[in-house]
Structure 1
């Protein structure tokens, strides 16, 4: 073999070796992510991760970090731009509406035990006390307005039009009210603070718990359908990565289920299907 061909052979060999090393390095980098940053709003979902998910992930060599947001619009933006690896704070209806409006490439990967929305009151002990002129506080974002109205229909306070869309139903779809009460629309995180000033308030369970109240203090709790159960969200590009697979395994682990069933702080939570 002359020098020309020898040089060409060595060059090709080195290119192939370097390409293989780079490919292995990239694959190793993707599979060896050992820090996972979770985002939350105030409430019980960070406690679920600290008590039941973090121990599982730590045993697999992960380091877990937590970021809490007071503004519920921020965790999805933070996830999309890369400062979070996952967030846990929202239900499917809110998530799908938010990512569509803001063109975010995010994906739901698993449901989590969910604190239901309920009807609460500091002034009344029964739903039967509803009278004309009463003020009813409800969330001001469309997905949770829809959720509140469905609960009010189950309580017998309103009647909604037939064949309404369960995700987009609004006050325009009310065809009958039990009495002439009025709605007060409030940002959902502020709803517990309205209780001294209104007759009844429909409040998401995580915000009730964050305010120091118990789910058991509600006058009626929902049994949330699929679209109102909370979830873990990740970037779509990450959904098949090992750290996401390990998060899913952690939620489905016997130890996590045991914590949810035995810890009194999760009493009243809706259990996902994988608990059955």
Structure 2
């Protein structure tokens, strides 16, 4: 009879240990953050600046790299990743509208500008009749590139054209009969061997080995084209998102940008 209290206490202790182990496992799982980013500078920012800060807070960071502008949002929506870093505000808003998903941009991050590059020419003065210029084929970045060509004085878009959604159909004047070659953004650096000029998203330019100083002209990036850290709206108030935001706002990260990402536009 005297053994019963001991046995009961032993059972309670065992159950408590099991419960604590399970709770610890759950908390450990919550400490894993999976971040998707396009290969290049935004992945490098995470790897060199964000990951070390989060690891000091006890997180394990898994960085998943993508080579296009489609899969990062697909992965975020289906839960394969917890956040992504690749898209600007305009692209995100357009994606939400077209796909009816619930995503939120929580903080703008240092952004590399789109640039005009060439292996064959040193100046826009060398543009002549029939010049080939490649640019991104997704609607948002195509409109962005066409806006740059208009600023260069190479084309004119119809009056009232929405510069955030303009397409080739909106070109009203093309005096030098420039041949515009839309293609997937990731392929633009490779196109430099086949075209005269290419308007290349900054992340893909740097990932391919190009430098900002190699550009013939760089975009004066407006606010709506600044890259944003994006999460599922249902997660935006969660602690891991706050910790991500704090990491991007930290002094350590700011110093990294000044040291290793010169020329990036700070929000």
Long gaps (5+) in structure 2: 1-22
List aligned pairs for 1:100-115, cutoff 5 A: 100-115=97-112
In structure 2, the partner of 1:20 is none
| Separation (CA, whole Å) in 2 of partners of 1:33 and 1:56 | 17
Give the alignment's Cα RMSD to 1 decimal: 1.9
| Structure 1 residue 31 displacement after superposition | 11
| Structure 1 residue 250 displacement after superposition | 0.8
Count residues with an aligned counterpart.
245
| Structure 1 residue 178 displacement after superposition | 4.3
| Separation (CA, whole Å) in 2 of partners of 1:251 and 1:108 | 13
Of residues 195, 200, 203, the one that matches 1:198 is 195
| Structure 1 residue 98 displacement after superposition | 1.9
In structure 2, the partner of 1:85 is 82
Q: Secondary structure at the match of 1:40?
A: strand
| Separation (CA, whole Å) in 1 of partners of 2:246 and 2:42 | 17
In structure 1, the partner of 2:115 is 118
| Separation (CA, whole Å) in 2 of partners of 1:108 and 1:200 | 32
List aligned pairs for 1:24-103, cutoff 5 A: 33-103=30-100
In structure 2, the partner of 1:238 is 235
Task: Please give the TM-score of this superposition, normalised by the length of structure 1.
Answer: 0.84
Query: Could you tell me whether the CA contact under 8 Å between 1:109 and 1:231 is conserved in 2?
Result: yes
| Separation (CA, whole Å) in 2 of partners of 1:30 and 1:221 | 45
Q: Secondary structure at the match of 2:30?
A: coil
CA 1:121–1:158: 2 relative to 1, 3 Å: same
1:30-72 CA deviation, whole Å, 9 max, x = no partner?
8982111000121110110111111211121111011112232
1:143-183 CA deviation, whole Å, 9 max, x = no partner?
01110011112211122233332211122222223411111
| Separation (CA, whole Å) in 1 of partners of 2:29 and 2:208 | 39
The alignment status of 1:229 with 2:223, answered yes or no, reads no
Of residues 139, 150, 155, the one that matches 1:153 is 150
Of residues 136, 141, 144, the one that matches 1:144 is 141
Query: Could you tell me whether the CA contact under 8 Å between 1:30 and 1:241 is conserved in 2?
Result: no
215-224 or 89-98, larger mean C-alpha shift? 89-98
Task: Please give the TM-score of this superposition, normalised by the length of structure 2.
Answer: 0.87
Q: Secondary structure at the match of 1:257?
A: helix
| Separation (CA, whole Å) in 1 of partners of 2:117 and 2:183 | 15
Query: Could you tell me whether the CA contact under 8 Å between 2:68 and 2:185 is conserved in 1?
Result: no
In structure 2, the partner of 1:17 is none
**Regions of 4+ moved over 6 Å:** 29-32
Of residues 198, 216, 222, the one that matches 1:219 is 216
